[in-house]
């Protein structure tokens, strides 16, 4: 018998233990970076945009608000790489400064609405019955509105401006998150470790935060990455319609609508900010897709 | 006379991490009208062998060598079109999960009739008649009514009977049953196994029964192949396998079955784990778990060696892939 | 078919929709009246004197307590009266009914474009999974979904109406004038539908019953058509219902850019002119359409899926 054990150690040392392959969260992220080149590229594009937003004053060649009426509507040239707009302002600089608006509008309302949605989803899924019914009907109501129209109503009442867009987008988009968190809560609630925790008297809120919430994180991360571009698109659409950012703001949507008059003579004025929007949205979408592929089979069914 | 013979089949999966040799030189002979068992733990390659025979391997799996002979034709050399003519008609398969193996939005009767009409030119009405008849044969009560049922309206046992009906309706030469009763409870399992024995006898269809359950083997099979890590470790008539077990792995499997008469403090398990197919040992695939291993076992791979057998050998000889038996009667030496 | 079962399910769905309908009207109502600022001032601007404000308040019933206003509105609405537009001096319902058909035509054309392109692209992608065609189509779909509606509108307008002169730049009436707006509106949807169709189909192809179908001897194409598509297309119905909401949002911008006199443009005008009753009526009307659309899709699904139809 002892013989056999020595032989095993000698010839098959790496087969002695029973460790399987683990697939933790960092492993999953690493796998995405290995396999999904597009997602990785998008990640760096986003970093670049964040960099441009933070260091805009250093990166932009001109001040975005300085008007120069004698230089207005210039075609792209060596001094103004993307030309100038109808008030003589440098388009490239305005686009660079516009990253600030887009990123902040993308991130902050999304975070706020997802926090609201997560809380409501947890409560709804955990407690069930009447509370669940009420919250879910409220979610149904919010989801019934075509998103743009609802935002338009809010902007009508509150007036235009970026701050109001913030508030509008923060309050209006919680329903999708709430539904998803509720679904995960419902399935996790039945697991034995939750029952066990409850039976030894662990407080509900602790269970929700320590047991259920961490399991929702993968879905939430994916949702976050995918909600950011939709917030950015909402802001630019609202600004395009005139109920969003107001002049002289460097919001990309606003730039497009102001340039609409000159669409046929100076098409780049409309095109440049539009492409900027598209690039940011695309980057977040690719990243979100990549994350969804590795993190969350559940979300795929949505 | 073999109706199906698999000769030194090798199937590998070409994954990002490397080549996984799931089926590593398997030779199986299926005589006419007999029930052949393939037994082994999860992951030993028995299901892949079945899928290789049916040529239903999923990407990235490929048959890399060997031949599969059905009535004179080598299935590995057939085109997809030729193969699809054979599937369901001369060669059929039933799977483990009756719950999910039937299309949920199509009536069960229509799914079986489809199997008929793909291979024979009969009218819809004729196919329906044949379906109802086969439902009766496999023991489905009220077969005409059941024709119009949807899968979710049937119990697990009934669904498996539908699957068996679907597989048998064209009178195949060979039916492969891949863990057909694993998902069913014990009483239903007994019924299904009995049904398969009856069909084998009545239709003359040979059955390849794949399972991890030695009890099922004992109940139903005429001849058994024991697989481990993609290779056949032992093959014998059922009686011989149980009473004159040759391979240490088979011994381990049999010892692992808890007995009602003994009363040990701990249940027996075979020590160690199945090898990672990406990093197989140089020697015998079982060497790191075998209690009877000697130095040679770690450095060379044994072939299948024939063993003296007291049984009737109508299905094949008793062979063991272990150096203990080398030097006795040589088997097919692979 | 278990009729009683189906009817019970239908009634249940309708019943749940009612609080949602009420909630929708309530929320718009409150938003337009309660949130900062007096509704009349918002309408008229800051520089109007008090007597005018009071007069208009009385005429529009805005001086009444909120709940009375609400019940009156709902009562009137059930009779088809959505109030009067102060600015245009016309009945809101009438204005909406004049504009609504245009949006319907636009949306239908866009939907047809989106579904035909989307579903075909999705199927082709699934069949050629991971090959060049798949990557191309799915990449294109993602790009399509990432472009803001106004961008697509302006680009197409510039390229095909201005430069190539194939279609009119704006306006409404001829078939030619519908082409660009339909493509613009359908663009985002096509991308979504293509992606969803592909993933549904791929998901279905992994299912065990597909393996059984091939094991029976069916050829790959037959399997795809007879077994996979049937199952993959069921969620497509839900998918189409989800598109209604985003189509209506997109219509707002499309109608603005191309000058189509539909509900979307009505809403934009209502905001520009500070026409509260019109905005209210438009948004409520549109949302009710979405709810009805979802209800119909839900019911359709219940009827088509035998697992739901025949009960468990």
- pLDDT tens per residue, range A196-227: 777 787 777 777 788 788 888 888 988 999 89
pLDDT at C44 over 80: no
Sequence spans of domains, chain B: 247-334
pLDDT at C6 over 90: no
Backbone angles phi, psi at B153, to 5 degrees: -90, 0
The pLDDT tens digits for A138-191 are: 998 888 888 888 888 888 888 777 888 888 888 888 998 999 899 888 888 877
Quote the pLDDT of residue A20: 53
Residue of B48, B102, B104 to mutate, testing the C interface (most C Cβ within 10 Å of its Cβ) = B104
Cβ proximity of B94 and B160 under 8 Å: yes
Q: What percent of chain B has pLDDT over 70?
A: 96
Quote the pLDDT of residue B93: 94
Q: How far is CA C264 from CA A173, B11, C248, in A?
A: 21, 61, 7
Q: For Cα atoms C152, C153, C159, give the angle at the middle one, nearest 5 degrees.
A: 85
**pLDDT confidence band for B4 (50 / 70 / 90):** very high
Quote the pLDDT of residue B72: 84
Quote the pLDDT of residue B92: 94
**pLDDT confidence band for B91 (50 / 70 / 90):** very high
Distance from CA of A57 to the nearest CA of B (A): 46
Quote the pLDDT of residue A16: 59
Quote the pLDDT of residue A107: 92
Quote the pLDDT of residue B15: 83
Cβ distance A144 to C24 less than 8 Å, yes or no, reads yes
Quote the pLDDT of residue A302: 35
What would the two tokens of residue A197 be?
Answer: 């925790």
Taking the Cβ of residue B269 and every Cβ of chain A, the question of whether any pair is shorter than 8 Å is answered with: no
More confident residue, B117 or B272: B117
- In chain A, residues with a C-beta closer than 8 Å to the C-beta of C19 are 137
Cβ distance B283 to A18 less than 8 Å, yes or no, reads no
The pLDDT tens digits for B38-75 are: 998 888 889 999 999 999 988 788 999 999 999 888 99
pLDDT at A2 over 70: no
Q: Which chains touch B (3+ CB pairs under 8 A)?
A: A, C
Distance from CA of B276 to the nearest CA of C (A): 26
pLDDT at A119 over 70: yes
Q: What percent of chain A has pLDDT over 70?
A: 93
Quote the pLDDT of residue C1: 52
Quote the pLDDT of residue A114: 94
Nearest CA in chain B to C209: B101
Quote the pLDDT of residue A164: 86
3-state DSSP assignment of residue B22 = strand
**pLDDT confidence band for B274 (50 / 70 / 90):** confident
CA A206/CA A203 separation, integer angstroms: 5
What would the two tokens of residue A228 be?
Answer: 């950011």
Cβ proximity of C196 and C122 under 8 Å: yes
Quote the pLDDT of residue A232: 93
What would the two tokens of residue B5 be?
Answer: 């013979």
By CB neighbour count within 10 A (0-12 exposed, 13-18 middle, 19+ buried), where does B72 fall? exposed
**pLDDT confidence band for C167 (50 / 70 / 90):** confident
Quote the pLDDT of residue A300: 44
- In chain B, residues with a C-beta closer than 8 Å to the C-beta of C230 are 103, 105-106
User: pLDDT averaged over chain A?
Assistant: 84
Quote the pLDDT of residue B6: 93
**pLDDT confidence band for A117 (50 / 70 / 90):** very high
Taking the Cβ of residue A11 and every Cβ of chain B, the question of whether any pair is shorter than 8 Å is answered with: yes
Quote the pLDDT of residue A301: 39
Cβ proximity of C154 and A256 under 8 Å: yes
All domains of chain A, ordered by start, with CATH?
Answer: 34-61+79-299 (1.10.3720.10)
Across the interface, of C31, C142, C291, the residue whose CB is closest to A153 is C31
By CB neighbour count within 10 A (0-12 exposed, 13-18 middle, 19+ buried), where does A3 fall? exposed
Mean pLDDT of C274-301: 86
The pLDDT tens digits for C183-239 are: 999 998 899 889 888 888 888 888 888 989 999 988 887 887 778 888 887 787 777
Indicate the helix (H) or strand (E) that contains B20.
strand B18-31
More confident residue, C222 or A96: A96
Quote the pLDDT of residue A285: 92
**pLDDT confidence band for B235 (50 / 70 / 90):** very high
Quote the pLDDT of residue B333: 43
**pLDDT confidence band for A299 (50 / 70 / 90):** very low
Quote the pLDDT of residue A296: 65
**pLDDT confidence band for A33 (50 / 70 / 90):** confident
Mean pLDDT of C257-280: 87
Cβ proximity of B96 and B209 under 8 Å: no
User: pLDDT averaged over chain C?
Assistant: 83
Nearest CA in chain A to C279: A153
Cβ distance A148 to C252 less than 8 Å, yes or no, reads yes
Q: For Cα atoms B277, B282, B283, give the angle at the middle one, nearest 5 degrees.
A: 105
Backbone angles phi, psi at C85, to 5 degrees: -80, 120
Distance from CA of C20 to the nearest CA of A (A): 5
Cβ proximity of C268 and A241 under 8 Å: yes
Quote the pLDDT of residue C2: 62
Quote the pLDDT of residue A19: 52
Across the interface, of A1, A3, A8, the residue whose CB is closest to B288 is A8
What would the two tokens of residue B334 be?
Answer: 């692979």
Cβ distance C142 to A140 less than 8 Å, yes or no, reads no
Quote the pLDDT of residue B281: 84
pLDDT at A267 over 80: yes
Nearest CA in chain B to A2: B291
Indicate the helix (H) or strand (E) that contains B322.
none
Quote the pLDDT of residue B178: 93
| Count, residues in chain C | 312
Quote the pLDDT of residue B334: 38
Cβ distance A141 to C145 less than 8 Å, yes or no, reads no
The pLDDT tens digits for A66-88 are: 888 887 787 887 778 888 888 88
User: pLDDT averaged over chain B?
Assistant: 88
Which of A191-195, B164-168, B207-211, B234-238 is predicted with the least confidence, judged by mean pLDDT? A191-195
Q: What percent of chain B has pLDDT over 90?
A: 49
The pLDDT tens digits for B145-189 are: 999 999 999 998 899 999 999 999 999 999 999 999 888 888 889
Which of A243-247, B6-10, B306-310 is predicted with the least confidence, judged by mean pLDDT? B306-310
Cβ density class C63-100: b for 16+ within 10 Å, e for less: eeeeeebbeebeeebeeeebbbbbebeebbbebbeebb
Distance from CA of C5 to the nearest CA of A (A): 23
């Amino acid at each position: 018998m002892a013989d056999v054990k020595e032989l095993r150690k000698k010839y098959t040392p790496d087969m002695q233990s029973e460790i399987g392959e683990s697939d933790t969260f960092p492993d999953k992220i690493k796998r995405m970076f290995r396999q999904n080149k597009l997602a990785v590229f998008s990640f760096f594009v986003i970093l670049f945009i964040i960099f441009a937003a933070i260091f805009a004053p250093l990166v932009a060649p001109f001040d975005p608000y300085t008007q120069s009426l004698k230089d207005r509507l210039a075609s792209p040239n060596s001094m103004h790489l993307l030309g100038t707009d109808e008030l003589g302002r440098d388009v490239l600089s305005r686009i660079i400064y516009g990253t600030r608006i887009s990123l902040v509008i993308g991130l902050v309302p999304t975070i706020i609405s997802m926090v609201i949605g997560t809380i409501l989803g947890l409560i709804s899924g955990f407690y069930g019955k009447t509370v669940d019914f009420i919250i879910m009907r409220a979610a149904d109501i919010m989801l019934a509105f075509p998103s743009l129209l609802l935002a338009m109503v809010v902007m009508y009442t509150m007036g235009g401006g970026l701050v109001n867009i913030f508030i509008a987008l923060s309050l209006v988009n919680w329903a999708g998150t709430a539904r998803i968190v509720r679904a995960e809560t419902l399935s996790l609630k039945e697991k034995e470790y939750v029952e066990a925790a409850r039976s030894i008297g662990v407080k509900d809120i602790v269970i929700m935060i320590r047991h259920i919430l961490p399991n929702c994180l993968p879905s939430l991360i994916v949702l976050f990455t995918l909600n950011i571009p939709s917030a950015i698109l909402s802001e630019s659409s609202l600004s395009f319609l005139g109920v969003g950012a107001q002049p002289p703001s460097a919001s990309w949507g606003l730039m497009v609508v102001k340039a609409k008059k000159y669409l046929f003579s100076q098409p780049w004025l409309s095109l440049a900010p539009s492409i900027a929007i598209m690039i940011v949205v695309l980057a977040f979408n690719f990243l979100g897709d990549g994350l969804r592929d590795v993190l969350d089979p559940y979300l795929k069914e949505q | 006379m073999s109706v199906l013979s698999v000769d030194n089949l090798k199937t590998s999966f070409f994954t990002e991490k490397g080549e996984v040799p799931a089926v590593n030189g398997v030779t199986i002979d299926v005589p006419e009208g007999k029930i052949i068992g393939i037994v082994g733990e999860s992951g030993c390659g028995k299901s892949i062998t079945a899928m290789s025979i049916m040529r239903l391997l999923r990407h990235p799996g490929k048959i890399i060598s060997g031949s599969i002979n059905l009535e004179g034709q080598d299935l590995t050399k057939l085109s997809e079109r030729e193969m699809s003519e054979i599937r369901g008609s001369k060669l059929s398969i039933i799977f483990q999960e009756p719950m999910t193996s039937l299309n949920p939005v199509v009536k069960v009767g229509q799914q079986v009739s489809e199997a008929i009409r793909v291979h024979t030119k009969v009218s819809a009405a004729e196919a329906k008649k044949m379906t109802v008849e086969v439902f009766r044969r496999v023991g489905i009560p009220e077969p005409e009514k059941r024709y119009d049922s949807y899968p979710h309206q049937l119990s697990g046992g009934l669904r498996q009977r539908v699957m068996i009906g679907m597989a048998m309706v064209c009178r195949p030469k060979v039916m492969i049953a891949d863990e057909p009763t694993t998902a069913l409870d014990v009483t239903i399992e007994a019924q299904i196994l009995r049904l398969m024995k009856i069909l084998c006898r009545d239709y003359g269809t040979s059955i390849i029964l794949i399972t991890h359950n030695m009890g099922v083997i004992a109940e139903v099979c005429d001849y058994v192949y024991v697989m481990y890590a993609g290779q056949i470790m032992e093959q014998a008539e059922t009686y011989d396998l149980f009473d004159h077990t040759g391979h240490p792995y088979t011994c381990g499997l049999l010892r692992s079955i808890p007995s009602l008469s003994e009363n040990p403090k701990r249940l027996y398990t075979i020590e160690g784990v199945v090898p990672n197919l990406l990093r197989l040992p140089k020697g015998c695939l079982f060497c790191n778990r075998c209690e009877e291993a000697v130095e040679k076992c770690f450095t060379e791979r044994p072939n299948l060696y024939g063993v003296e057998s007291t049984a009737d050998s109508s299905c094949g000889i008793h062979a063991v892939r272990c150096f203990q038996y080398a030097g006795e009667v040589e088997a097919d030496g692979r | 078919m278990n009729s009683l079962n189906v009817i019970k399910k239908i009634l249940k769905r309708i019943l749940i929709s009612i609080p949602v309908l009420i909630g929708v009207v309530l929320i718009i109502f409150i938003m337009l009246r309660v949130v900062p600022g007096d509704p009349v001032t918002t309408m008229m601007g800051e520089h109007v004197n008090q007597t005018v404000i009071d007069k208009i308040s009385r005429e529009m019933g805005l001086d009444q307590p909120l709940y009375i206003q609400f019940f009156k509105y709902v009562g009137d609405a059930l009779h088809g009266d959505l109030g009067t537009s102060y600015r245009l001096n016309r009945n809101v319902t009438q204005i909406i009914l004049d504009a609504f058909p245009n949006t319907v035509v636009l949306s239908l054309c866009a939907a047809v474009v989106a579904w035909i392109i989307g579903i075909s692209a999705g199927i082709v992608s699934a069949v050629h999974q991971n090959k060049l065609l798949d990557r191309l189509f799915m990449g294109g779909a993602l790009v399509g979904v990432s472009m803001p509606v106004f961008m697509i509108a302006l680009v197409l307008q510039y390229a095909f109406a201005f430069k190539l002169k194939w279609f009119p730049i704006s306006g409404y009436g001829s078939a030619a004038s519908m082409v660009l707006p339909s493509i613009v509106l359908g663009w985002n949807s096509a991308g979504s539908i293509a992606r969803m169709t592909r993933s549904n189909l791929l998901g279905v192809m992994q299912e065990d019953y597909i393996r059984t179908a091939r094991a029976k001897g069916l050829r790959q194409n037959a399997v795809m058509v007879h077994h996979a598509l049937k199952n993959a297309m069921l969620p497509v119905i839900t998918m189409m219902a989800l598109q209604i909401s985003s189509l209506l949002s997109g219509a707002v911008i499309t109608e603005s850019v191309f000058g189509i006199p539909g509900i979307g443009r009505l809403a934009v005008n209502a905001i520009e002119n500070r026409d509260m009753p019109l905005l209210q009526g438009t948004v409520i009307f549109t949302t009710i359409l979405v709810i009805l659309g979802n209800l119909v899709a839900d019911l359709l699904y219940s009827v088509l899926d035998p697992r739901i139809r025949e009960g468990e």
